[in-house]
Chain A
Amino acid sequence: MTAPQSLPREPRVIVCAGGGGVGKTTTSAALALALARRGHRTLVVTIDPARRLADALGVTIDPLPHVVHVDPATGDRLYALMPEPKASTRTFMEFLFRDEPASLERLLANRLFQALSDALAGMHELVCMTLVARAASEHTFDYVVVDTAPSRYALDFVSYPPRLAALLESRALGFFGTLADRSGTSASGETESAAAALARKGAEAALARGLGGRLVLDLTGLFSEMLRVRERFAGLANQSSRLLLGESSRYVLVAAPTGSALADVRFLARKLEKLGRRPAGVVLNRADIAARAWAAPLLDDPGTPPALGAALRQLEAERTARTAAADQMADVLAHHLASVPRVRLPFVESRSPADIVLRLADEISSGVSVLAGA
């Protein structure tokens, strides 16, 4: 375990990423459950909550973490945090501008903000990480498992906080400031080369012409409001970055032998490489259906009714197809991500999400040390 420190201990973050439809949320929950079974206080955070799973784990879609009692073996060590993605931007702005009510009002009335607020990148992720940081300060977790949104671009969110903060840095604000009043002087006192000045002037002229005066006014208004909360925003962004990109954070890629999952994993691995990180492991979910020992005696028995025989043959055909697809995928991964450990998980035939999580937690337990470094 971690050595005692003077600062409050920050949890170890495990980011799970993968394309859609690979069972990433379930896998994340299973990994968290397996960690809690081993005695670690663990929080699983779902960026894009699946209500079915939330219901199954007995937690609500809420900005606060809830203890999960789906398995007695985890005691009070497993928590789930599933914040509602809708209205994230507004909630976040209300938080950012809590000391600046007039500014908040202007911001919410800004037409450009109204048009874009639904679509601000990574706002929900940032809200989630802010909630994680708050939860971590209140609960002392050993591990936080973050289930990202089902997208190839899900990992981008680890760089959103600094990106959003960069947007608000003074040089960018100064630029938009000068756009509003092109006769005014640049807000940035930095000296620039002749080429840079030319490029800036060109961009200014082109933007002012292309966007039109009114839009530029809305744009600059938006920036001047954001400037007021820049420090608070940067603080949150840095906190998120530290959690997500800190030295102890790990990245787990989740795939299943279906659709674009394999390409997604390779794409995400390349993204990680650009961030200077390597995946701790690749989980091959729904890769196998355990051989059904009971199928053979029924199939071999001439007394088995035809309808049963047909159903059995269908099940066997499915099993063979799935395993073949998983084997092929494992081969490709072995070739392209040779040094990344693979953890193979079975296809769990059940209608209960809680049951699936419990069974996957059994299966993942041997891979926990690889994935979580536990």
Chain B
Amino acid sequence: MSAPPRPALARVALVTGKGGVGKTTVAAGLAVAQVALSGSAALVEFGDGESGLRALGRQRGVDHIVIKPEEALTRAASPLFGNGLLAKVALGNFAVKRMLKAAPALRELAMLECIRLVAAEKPRRAVIVDMPATGHGIAWLRVPRQLREVSQSGPFFELCDRVARELVTPGRCSPVVVTLPEKLVLKETLELCESMASVVGLPAARLIVNRMPTEIAHEAVVEAERIAAGDSPRATAARSLAEVLRTRETARQEALTALDDVRTGSAGLAPVLLPEAPIDPTATQVAEWLRTGGALP
């Protein structure tokens, strides 16, 4: 079966997905793979930098850029208010602070602006962004355009416009969606991909299905069942083994069936499969999986 070709990745990859699907691991792996491919890559992380460090492990060569969420706001707002000090004064205002806490869309706009700035810094470097868990929403991708519409003119409008035109547009950035091989999770992910394309006009460029159950040799299941059916002293042990192996085989089968639905879904995006590992894989290992899985040339 020949998989449909995958679109080229833009220089900026926004790695997104629900909490716990392995976004950070995938982002770090992607950054390592990009370094091997194009010489340099930055892994952008919003937070304290701890999770990116752990995912990268001993891997060197990736520029690890850590942006604290509150710094993102000041950085993005500085041109808005003329300078950083005024931005700090305005953002430090109690009413504004409260509004920012209530409406995270503004923080997301600031994050996108920071990503745009990082990308502009070194025009040849690949930028991989480990996006904060956004659930299934695409609000964060719609924000620049929606707020551009609302503001219509002025420095705030220009900020939204810049982010919309220079970052959140096809060719400038590629959403990389990470998900898990479970029927309902995949279904929700597919809906997310569809609304990314139809509502934001920014189709997902990669669908990474993480933690695919490992393949169990069918021969092993058959043999375990054969011994289990006999009356040798090993029969009882073999029955327990057969049960575990069957569970695993079913898990794998269910995952494959769920993936078939994705392949026939309208997203038309060939998923990249990463195997399940009992303990966390290294970024180098993930990079290798991404290459062999076809996520990168």
Shortest CB-to-CB span from B133 to chain A, Å, is 5
**Given known A-B contacts A119-B108, A151-B133, A202-B86, A167 and B99 have beta carbons under 8 A apart:** yes
Cβ-defined contact, B234 with A20, below 8 A = no
Residue B37 at the chain A interface, CB threshold 8 Å: no
Question: Which of A128-136, A169-177, A273-281 forms contacts with chain B?
Answer: A169-177
Given known contacts A20-B18, A215-B152, A259-B24, what 5 new A-B pairs fall within 8 Å (CB)? A172-B95, A211-B151, A258-B280, A292-B240, A308-B220
20 of the cross-chain contacts (CB-CB < 8 Å) are: A19-B19, A21-B20, A22-B20, A115-B149, A116-B105, A121-B101, A121-B102, A163-B98, A167-B98, A167-B99, A172-B98, A172-B99, A199-B92, A207-B96, A210-B81, A294-B236, A294-B237, A304-B234, A325-B279, A351-B254
Chain B residue nearest in CB terms to A53? B184
| Docked CA distance A167–B100 (Å) | 10
Question: Which of A30-38, A64-72, A311-319 forms contacts with chain B?
Answer: A311-319
**Given known A-B contacts A294-B237, A295-B241, A209 and B81 have beta carbons under 8 A apart:** yes
Shortest CB-to-CB span from B284 to chain A, Å, is 17
Q: How many residues of B are counted as interface, with CB atoms below 8 angstroms from the partner's CB atoms?
A: 79
Interface string of B102-146 (1 = CB under 8 A from A): 111110100000000000000000000000010101011011001
| Docked CA distance A22–B19 (Å) | 10
Partner among B143, B220, B234 whose Cβ is within 8 Å of the Cβ of A311: B220
Cβ-defined contact, A119 with B81, below 8 A = no
Residue B36 at the chain A interface, CB threshold 8 Å: no
Chain A-chain B contacts (Cβ-Cβ < 8 Å), number:
208
Q: Which residues of B contact A150 (CB under 8 A)?
A: 18-20, 133
| Docked CA distance A172–B100 (Å) | 12
Residue B283 at the chain A interface, CB threshold 8 Å: no
Shortest CB-to-CB span from B236 to chain A, Å, is 7
Shortest CB-to-CB span from B274 to chain A, Å, is 13
Chain A interface residue count: which class? 35 or more
**Given known A-B contacts A212-B157, A304-B234, A167 and B102 have beta carbons under 8 A apart:** yes
Cβ-defined contact, B20 with A166, below 8 A = no
Q: Which residues of B contact A312 (CB under 8 A)?
A: 241
Shortest CB-to-CB span from A119 to chain B, Å, is 4
Shortest CB-to-CB span from A62 to chain B, Å, is 16
Partner among B89, B101, B154, B250 whose Cβ is within 8 Å of the Cβ of A212: B154
Interface of B (DSSP majority class) = helix
Q: Which residues of A contact B24 (CB under 8 A)?
A: 259-260
Q: Which residues of B contact A315 (CB under 8 A)?
A: 244
Q: Which residues of A contact B152 (CB under 8 A)?
A: 212, 214-215
Interface string of A195-211 (1 = CB under 8 A from B): 00001101100110111
**Given known A-B contacts A120-B103, A121-B101, A311-B216, A298 and B279 have beta carbons under 8 A apart:** no
Partner among B80, B103, B237 whose Cβ is within 8 Å of the Cβ of A210: B80
| Docked CA distance A366–B247 (Å) | 28
Interface string of A307-351 (1 = CB under 8 A from B): 110111011011001101100000000000000000000000111
Q: Which residues of A contact B254 (CB under 8 A)?
A: 351
Residue A363 at the chain B interface, CB threshold 8 Å: no
Residue B22 at the chain A interface, CB threshold 8 Å: yes
Residue B223 at the chain A interface, CB threshold 8 Å: yes
* Interfacial residues of chain B within 75-104, with CB under 8 A of chain A in the complex: 77, 80-82, 86-87, 89-90, 92-96, 98-99, 101-104
Q: Which residues of B contact A115 (CB under 8 A)?
A: 105, 142-143, 146-147, 149-150
Q: Which residues of B contact A22 (CB under 8 A)?
A: 20
Cβ-defined contact, B50 with A85, below 8 A = no
Q: List the interface of chain A (C-beta within 8 A of B).
A: 19-22, 48, 50-52, 85, 111-112, 114-116, 118-121, 149-152, 163-164, 166-167, 171-172, 175-176, 199-200, 202-203, 206-207, 209-215, 218, 257-260, 263, 292, 294-295, 297-298, 301, 303-305, 307-308, 310-312, 314-315, 317-318, 321-322, 324-325, 349-351
Residue B251 at the chain A interface, CB threshold 8 Å: yes
Shortest CB-to-CB span from A262 to chain B, Å, is 9
Q: Which residues of A contact B151 (CB under 8 A)?
A: 211-212, 214-215
Cβ-defined contact, B146 with A114, below 8 A = yes
**Given known A-B contacts A259-B280, A295-B241, A351 and B157 have beta carbons under 8 A apart:** no
Partner among B20, B90, B156, B244 whose Cβ is within 8 Å of the Cβ of A349: B244
| Docked CA distance A318–B216 (Å) | 13
Residue B182 at the chain A interface, CB threshold 8 Å: yes
| Docked CA distance A259–B276 (Å) | 12
Partner among A21, A111, A166, A294 whose Cβ is within 8 Å of the Cβ of B22: A21
Chain B residue nearest in CB terms to A124? B135
Cβ-defined contact, A215 with B154, below 8 A = yes
**Given known A-B contacts A297-B233, A307-B219, A211 and B102 have beta carbons under 8 A apart:** no
In the complex, which of the residues B94, B99, B278, B279 has the most CB atoms of chain A within 10 Å of its own CB atom? B278
| Docked CA distance A324–B278 (Å) | 11
| Docked CA distance A50–B189 (Å) | 13
Residue B153 at the chain A interface, CB threshold 8 Å: yes
Residue B67 at the chain A interface, CB threshold 8 Å: no
| Docked CA distance A263–B99 (Å) | 29
| Docked CA distance A209–B108 (Å) | 21
Residue B40 at the chain A interface, CB threshold 8 Å: no
**Given known A-B contacts A48-B135, A112-B150, A175 and B93 have beta carbons under 8 A apart:** yes
Shortest CB-to-CB span from B43 to chain A, Å, is 14
Chain A residue nearest in CB terms to B248? A349
Cβ-defined contact, A203 with B89, below 8 A = yes
Chain A residue nearest in CB terms to B242? A308
| Docked CA distance A208–B99 (Å) | 15
